[in-house]
Amino acid sequence: MKRKLMTYSLAAVVGTSGLLLPASNTTFAQTLQEKKQQIEQKQSDVSSSLENKESEISQLEQEEQKLNSEIKKIDLQYAEINGKIREKEASIEETKKEVEELKIQIDEVKARIAERNKLLEDRARSLQENGGVVSYLDVLLGAQSFGDFVGRVNAVTTIVEADKEIIKAHEADKLLLEQTEADLNNKLKELKAALTELEVLKAQLEVQKNKKEELMATVEKQHDEALHEKHVLEDEAAFLAEQKKAIALEEQRQREEAARAAEEAKRQAEERKRAEAAAASSKSSNSSSGSSSSSNSSSSSSGSSSASTQKPAVTSGSFMWPASGRFTSGYGQRWGKLHAGIDIANRSDVPIVASASGTVIRAHYSSSYGNVAYISHNIGGQVYTTLYAHMENLQVSAGQSVSKGQQIGIMGNTGRSTGQHLHFEIHKGPWNGQANAVNPLNYLP
């Protein structure tokens, strides 16, 4: 079950807090208020989406329980079929033994029949040689006395009855042979049927196994996707909360700047008054005591040696280059998808600087971007968001105000990065994935 996560323009609001002071404090306050309302609306949308996703995960968990019960059922069937297979195998072995025993019995019956056949043949031959029934009369008539006659009659009767018993036993054995052969054939048929049934059961078992594997794979995939989508929404909610906090800090900073500007304006007005009074006094006295203009302009700090020399020079224009180094990759399609920024390669100790003044929206570690910072800017009333990825470390935090050219980190190779470089993006408007990414080369001097 492939679900496409709704990206609620994560940032149709991300990056709106780093705004420059507009010409009018009222206009600026209105702008911040509008951005705050946009963020709150997005927070509401994301919160609603998060609730929907949690409901979906709950449904998936119920479905998972249902699938687990089905899997349990399959497991029970698996065990049952295995039991039947064992029973059939045992029955087959027993049948084979019985077949062997029946073969032995058949051989014994055949031997008895052969012996009786020989006995009857001998008896028949003897009767034929002695005249058959007449020989029995000779035996009876040859009696010397009545007692001898009775004895001879009993002997002849016994012989005749014995012959009848032999013939009867012979017929019974022949019948037993036929019945035993029929039983053997039935046993063999049962054996073949059992083997066929065993093969069917094995095939059913294989189907059940495959079904179980498919169900397990489906459950795991759905569960993983739902959890991933939930985590993305939670991350988006956290991003919006950080941005709202950054806007509050920006409001406070702008209020403080406005207060300082008012104090400065008041101080300058007082200085102008004093200067005008001094000038009037100087004219009236007509004394040229020299224009005491103290011109001490010696505030050039030499900065730190190695790092400062590696920093790119602060240039005019809206944006400056965020790092010095070799341009290795531009904006555009790469390997079938958009490379939404540019890459600049250099050594590991090269500073990364803010491309324009603004407010840090987020500075954290991402599995894809590594150490990454997002900075929001308001330039001429237009909101921009810049992204600085794969840094070795971060020297700024969310909500911090930064000036153009201020160091925010060091070039690195973190996240999904192949080689030491900075990945730099510019987005026209709040950060919204690749939707509003623009070519940085069109904005850099």
* Model confidence pLDDT, tens digit, residues 111-131: 877 776 777 677 666 666 665
Residue 98: what pLDDT?
75
Residue 27 lies in a domain: no
* Model confidence pLDDT, tens digit, residues 372-410: 999 999 888 888 999 999 999 999 999 899 999 999 999
Residue 380 lies in a domain: yes
* Model confidence pLDDT, tens digit, residues 195-209: 788 778 778 877 876
Are 303 and 402 within 8 A, CB to CB?
A: no
Cβ of 370: how many Cβ atoms within 10 Å? 18
Please check the confidence at residue 40 and state whether its pLDDT lies above 50.
yes
Q: How confident is the model at residue 22 (pLDDT cuts 50, 70, 90)?
A: very low
Element at 327 (helix H, strand E): strand 326-329
* Model confidence pLDDT, tens digit, residues 281-309: 777 665 544 444 333 333 333 333 344 45
Write down which residue in 274, 304, 336 finishes a domain.
274
Please check the confidence at residue 260 and state whether its pLDDT lies above 60.
yes
Residue 129: what pLDDT?
65
Provide the residue range defining the domain that includes 386: 326-442
Q: Are residues 187 and 65 in the same domain?
A: yes
Total number of domains in the chain: 2
Residues sharing a CB contact under 8 Å with residue 13, sequence separation 6 or more, in sequence order: 35, 38, 39, 42, 240, 243, 430
Spatial distance between the Cα atoms of 75 and 252, rounded to a whole number of angstroms: 64
Residue 307 lies in a domain: no
Write down which residue in 232, 249, 274 finishes a domain.
274
Rg (CA), the chain: 53
Mean of pLDDT values over 330-357: 92
Residue 291 lies in a domain: no
Highest mean pLDDT among 32-36, 70-74, 115-119, 223-227: 223-227
Residue 146: what pLDDT?
61
One-letter identity of residue 406: Q
- pLDDT exceeding 70 applies to what percent of the chain? 72
CATH number, domain containing residue 58: 1.10.287
* Model confidence pLDDT, tens digit, residues 134-167: 455 555 566 666 666 666 566 656 666 666 776 6
CATH number, domain containing residue 332: 2.70.70.10
Chain mean pLDDT for the chain:
76
Residues sharing a CB contact under 8 Å with residue 206, sequence separation 6 or more, in sequence order: none
Which of 36-40, 134-138, 234-238, 325-329 has the least mean pLDDT? 134-138
CA atoms within 13 A on the CB side of 344: 21
One-letter identity of residue 72: K
